[in-house]
Structures are given as structure tokens and as C-alpha cells.
Amino acid sequence: MPKTIFEKIWESHVVKRAAGYPDALFIDRHFIHEVTSPQAFDGLRKRGIPVFNTSRTTATADHNVPTKDQHLPIKEALSRHQVETLRKNCKEFGVELYDLGHPFQGIVHIIGPELGLTLPGMTIVCGDSHTSTHGAFGSIAFGIGTSEVEQVLATQSILQYKPKTLKIEINGRLGKGVVSKDIILYIISRISASGATGYFVEYAGEAIRALSMEARMTICNMSIEMGARGGLIAPDETTFNYIKGRKFAPTGTAFDKKVEEWKSLRSDEGAAYDKTLQYDAADIAPMITYGTNPGMGMRVTDRIPTVEELKEINEQQSFRKSLDYMGLEPGSVLLGKPVDYVFIGSCTNARMEDLRQVASIVKGKKKAEHVEVWVVPGSKQVEEQARKEGLDKIFAAAGFELRSPGCSACLGMNEDKVPEGKYCVSTSNRNFEGRQGPRSRTFLASPLSAAVAAITGKVSDVREWIQD
Amino acid sequence: MKEKFSTLTSTAVPLPSENVDTDQIIPARFLKATTREGFGDNLFRDWRYDSTGAPIKDFVLNDSRYSGKILVAGKNFGCGSSREHAAWAIYDYGFRVVISSFYADIFKNNALNNGLLPVVVSDEFLAKIFAMVHQKPAAKLTVDLESQEVRLENGDTAKFEINPYKKTCLINGYDDIDYLLSIREDIRTYDQAHS
Ligand code: SF4
């Protein structure tokens, strides 16, 4: 029977399937960070058991860390305690930790791929919903809760029911100024923030194939924002070329052998999905969100819907509440709306290509006076590379600074918070109420769109800023 | 071992908003604890308190008419982050059941792993519950896990689905980890064959 890539990977990882139980699924790679792991390590301690296989476990500090003066002790006591707890736990249990100051430190979903720890055909989990990022390599990667982190630490396995499959095809070619962030914001705006709940997504089609690995990661990263547990893209030459030569990737003949194996990781002709959706790349424009969930997005030139235009009556109340929070009028346009902050960062868009795109727009220009701009690289390696390429100088000349890596204003756990009532164009993945700081207001957009907003100080259409 | 769950009869707290995400349930800046306890104080923090820390009067947790161990919430409850702290906060506050018409996947798992029962009812039945509670805050609901039923005072009843494995775990207070530990040798064999 023809199978999807998802089924192939899932089936090959079932350790035990027993009547009345979910599948016990083996986990190839487990990533850990300071926020969702302490209680899990406590659980192991209480049971008196070790980490099952430390060589499959990698930790980093990212959520809580400052993005300035990372060499100094963390000022905020609770954050410091959490990072120190991670250090202590990793030491006690023998888990590799890329701590602050380590050349491999960074946002957990950025360092995995960058180090060649993320490979096709793997099952990957982390106590973090954006673990879906790793699906870009053709792996089953999904976020888990802390109880499940404990299970994986203790047994390198997890109990899971198999989700349904959803294929999303993007056919045709993207227009100018349209990048992968726009693809995913477009899809979510079409199917809503809960439209893929219960499904695991496979992205396919010409427009997806044409994307670089970094662009693919942006798309898979936001699968969770439509409710999907994860999303993957079948590996191809682009994938293999990206992996080749990375720190922990297989080398030499072992690599060639792996590539042969990975080539079979594709959905068979005629494989059945529970659901299929198709979109035309030409229909996608630079996108922006206007509300308080990622499904509330539109083309940057569109207007916000009116209450009457909503399909479901019972959504009207939530919609009004959301626009109230954002301080926006139903039916109005966002183009030209002044903004206060621009955040370029997060596991969605803080890789080299993202920073290069931003630099391509701001080179030789200055940021608008009233706008505060934060550029936070996704990892130490990205930071170093950006400096090597001179991007830090381009940013400095434009009036903003390249900081040190971490989650930063994506979730505002450290001091990088957008103040109450202020508007921020952000390359991150969530525009929830208070996500970037209590009562802050977020417009999600691509790095290109964010860069233009930094220059103009307003929500702008990037297409007017680039030549054909 | 978790607390066991069988039947609960209680008044309910209505929260009709849709797409309540885990950042609302427990904002990120309160995730810094390294234990599981105490998150209830910051449950719905930014809806419950203003920036000076004063309670926001019209938020339901500050409304003295409503109390109880059942939280009734709008569609797509618990979307967003995987933070289990959301389930801990709801449980720590004193809730044992959430009723909604739709949940995000990870939240549902997290709730079940912590003895918090996420009950799914139809949009229509959910509307009925909201209407009943708004009209009469002292009205009680019964959630019966054994028979998989929600019963309202006026006799209206709805069946709910729960997967049999999770049901057994809740009723007996079992953890997934107990099962996984029992098959550790199988897992070891698999690991060695695939490294
Ligand atoms: S960058 Fe944001 S979304 Fe990504 S792991 Fe960090 S907090 Fe989560």
C-alpha cells in the first residue's frame, strides 16, 4: 500500500503497539531548555533513575537569557536560578549543555539544524511547541509538555496516538517581495489558528520545493500556529546539501549511505491523506497580522474585516475583543499605521538568510527616528557569521544594534519587552495578547516587511522598496 | 501516582472567549519557577489584574458570583505554547475539569497528564452551559467520567468522548511513564539496533 512520508517515519519508530495503549514511539533526538525541563529532572530524581540515553539529548539556554552582556551573571534572580538549575541538572545527569558563552548556544530550534543534530527521518521532541521547525528536514518533530519531557528523559520514548495527515500544496511561483513567512501566514489566515488541530502536515508543491532550508524551517516552525502538532517537508538535494559538513552530521561514506536512505523518505504515488489543501503561490502577497492570534492575518494592502463579514456569528465577540486590544477599527487598513518597535528575531526568522534580507533593505538607510529596533540572532553561530559578513555594521549605520542570541522579545521572558500599548512589527510567530510584554501589540510579518517598517516607521508594502 | 478522578459535581466558572491561548492562561514571565506548585496565583494574570496589580472587576475570576471546580471555556482552548504550566496553573487554582467544544492538542495532553479532565461537548451544548451558568451562577453540573456524561441541573445531558487509555489512567491515577518504564527493555533493544 502506498504510504506517506509521515507514516513511513512513524511506523519505523514504533517500539511497541499494544491493544488499548497509544503507540510507544522511539525518540531519536531530544532537545531541552531551561523553562520546561526542571520539573522533569526532578521527576527522575524522585524515581531514582538516570537519563536513558544522554547521547540523544542536547540542552541549551535560550528563553530566559539576556541579549546584552551575556558574559555577566543574569541580573534577574528567577531567570538566573532557572538557567543555573539547567546547568546543575545537565551536570548531574550527564547531558550536553550549550550554555551562555558556548559557541553553539542559541535558540533550541536554530541550533539543532545548524549543528547537524536534526536529520531526515528522525523523530524529534522538545518541551516547546515550535519543535515543528525541525520537520523541514523530513522528520517527525513536535512539541511536548514537561510530563512528556520526563518520559523521554526516562525512556527515550513517548506514548502517542497517531495524528491524521494533512497535505498542503503550494503550486506556482512566489511574486516579488514574498517570502516563506508570507506563505505560512497566508495559509494560517486561510484555515485559522485551529484549522489543522489533530493533523500532522506535509508541505509540498513547486513553491515549497524552490525554497532554501532556512525558508522551509520558517514554514514548518509555524505549523503549530494553525493547531497542527507538526509539519514536514520531504528531504531533497537542498536538504542533503544543507546537512553536508555540519558539525554532528555523518561524514564520508556514512553520509553517502545516509543520503541513499533519506531518498526513500518521500510520500509514495497515490498515498492517502486525511485531507488535502491546495493554494496558488501567485495569490500570496506580503502578509501582516492585525489581531491576537496568528490566524488573523491579511495581505498588507488589504483591510481588516468588519464584524459583519465574519463567517461565524459566535466568533464576533472574540473578534471585537481582539481588535479592542489592538486598538484597531474593524474595516480599516493597516498600511501607513505608525509603529513603535521592530523585532527581528525568534526561531521563526533569526537565521542568516533572515538577517541578510533585513540588511539588503536597510543598507545605506536609517531607521525612522521614533522606532526602536532589536535584531536578535538565533544563535551564537548566526551572530558570528553576521559579524563576519559585516551585517552588524550595516545595522549600526541604520541606527540599530545586533544583539546576542536568545528568544528575547518573542516571548518577553527576559528584559526585552514591548511596553504597554505600543505596536511592534515582529518576525516572531505569536501575536497573542501580552506575548511580547504585558499589553503590548504585535503585528507579525516577514523579515523584509519588518525591515521596511524599521525604515519608514510605519506598516509598509515591501514591494515598493525592491526592484524587479 | 496522580489524584484519581471519578465524578465531580460543582458550580462552574464561565469564560466564553474563544482561542484562549496558553500565554493568557499563564504569561511567560511567570514561567520561571522550577517546581510545579504555585502557578494558580498567576492564572489568567493579565486578565485578572491590571498593570498596578489591582483586580480587574469584570473578569470572571474576580466576580464573586462565580466559583467552583469546573472551568467552562470557548472554542480552541489552550492553543499556543506547549507549556505544561498552563495545566498546572488551572489545577493549582482549584479547577479539576475544563469544558469546551475544542482544545489544542498539546494542552489536552498536558491536562490529561496532570489529572485535569478536558471535556469536549458540542458547540450547542456549550452554549447551553453558558446560558445556564450566566442565568444562575449557583447552578451545578455533574461530570461523570465513568459514564462519560455531563449532566446539568435541568436534566440536560451530553455524552463526551475520551480515549479509553487516558480514561483508565485518570480513574486509577496512572502515569504514562509507568507503562513506558515497564517496556524499558524493548526500548533498549530498539535503541541499540538503531544507533
Ligand atoms: S524564539 Fe519564541 S517561539 Fe521560538 S523557542 Fe523561543 S520563545 Fe519559543
| A389-445 per-position pLDDT tens digit | 999 999 999 999 899 999 999 999 999 999 999 999 999 999 999 999 999 999 999
C-alpha cell at A241: 546539501
pLDDT tens digit sequence for B177-190:
999 999 999 999 99
- Could you name the CATH architecture of A5-160? 2-Layer Sandwich (3.30)
User: Are residues B82 and A143, on separate chains, in Cβ contact within 8 Å?
Assistant: yes
Which of A33, A60, A63, A221 gets mutated to test ligand 1 (max ligand atoms within 8 A of its CB)? A63
Residue A252 has pLDDT above 70, yes or no: yes
Cross-strand bridge partners of residue A164:
A199
> For residue A1, what pLDDT band results from cuts at 50, 70 and 90?
very high
Name the least confident of A299-313, A427-441, B97-111: A299-313
Search chain B and give the residue with CA nearest A409: B28
Written as one letter, the residue type at B114 is N
Output the pLDDT for position A20: 87
pLDDT digits (tens, 9 = 90+) for B114-173: 999 999 999 999 999 999 999 999 999 999 999 999 999 999 999 999 999 999 999 998
* pLDDT above 90 (res A316): no
- Name the average pLDDT for chain B: 95
Residue labelled with grid coordinates 501582516: A288
Inter-CA distances, A446 with A149, A186, A190, A328, A346, Å: 32, 11, 17, 21, 12
* Assembly ipTM: 0.94
Q: B34: nearest CA in chain A?
A: A38
The residue ranges of DSSP E strands in B114-189, in sequence order, are 117-120, 141-144, 149-152, 157-159
pLDDT value of position A336: 98
The pLDDT value given to residue B149: 97
Q: How far is A227 from chain B (nearest CA, A)?
A: 6
Q: What's the CA gap between A348 and A219, in Å, rounded?
A: 8
The confidence score (pLDDT) of residue A205 equals 98
| pLDDT, tens digit, 9 for 90 and up, residues A90-108 | 999 999 999 999 999 999 9
Condensed to tens digits (0 to 9), the pLDDT of residues B157-179 reads: 999 999 999 999 999 988 899 99
Nearest alpha-carbon partner for A28 in A143, A140, A178, A159? A140
CATH number, domain A164-283: 3.40.1060.10
**A150/B contact by beta carbon, under 8 A:** yes
Measured in whole angstroms, the distance separating CA B33 from the mean position of its chain's CA atoms is 20
Q: Is A72 exposed, middle or buried (0-12, 13-18, 19+ CB in 10 A)?
A: exposed
CB proximity under 8 Å: B 48-67 to A: 51
Q: pLDDT tens digits for A49-58?
A: 999 999 999 9
* Domain range annotation of chain A: 5-160, 164-283, 287-464
- Strands of chain B, DSSP E: 7-10, 12-15, 70-73, 97-100, 117-120, 141-144, 149-152, 157-159
**Looking at the complex, does the CB of residue A194 fall below 8 Å from at least one CB of chain B?**
yes
**Rounded to the nearest 5 degrees, what angle is found at the Cα of A293, between the Cα atoms of A64 and A160?**
70
Q: State which ligand 1 atom lies nearest to the alpha carbon of A108.
A: 5
CB pairs under 8 A between A and B: 188
**Spatial strand order in the sheet of A341-344:** A401-402, A372-375, A341-344, A423-426, A441-444
Q: Which of residues 65-104 of B touch A (CB under 8 A)?
A: 74-76, 79-85, 87, 102, 104
User: How many C-beta neighbours within 10 Å does residue A173 have?
Assistant: 12
pLDDT over 70 percentage in chain A: 100
Domains A5-160 and A164-283 share a fold: no
Report pLDDT digits (tens) over A320-356.
Answer: 999 999 999 999 999 999 999 999 999 999 999 999 9
- Taking 70 as the threshold, does the pLDDT of residue A235 lie above it? yes
* Fold (topology level) of A287-464: Aconitase; domain 3 (3.30.499)
Task: Give yes or no for residue B1 having a pLDDT over 70.
Answer: no
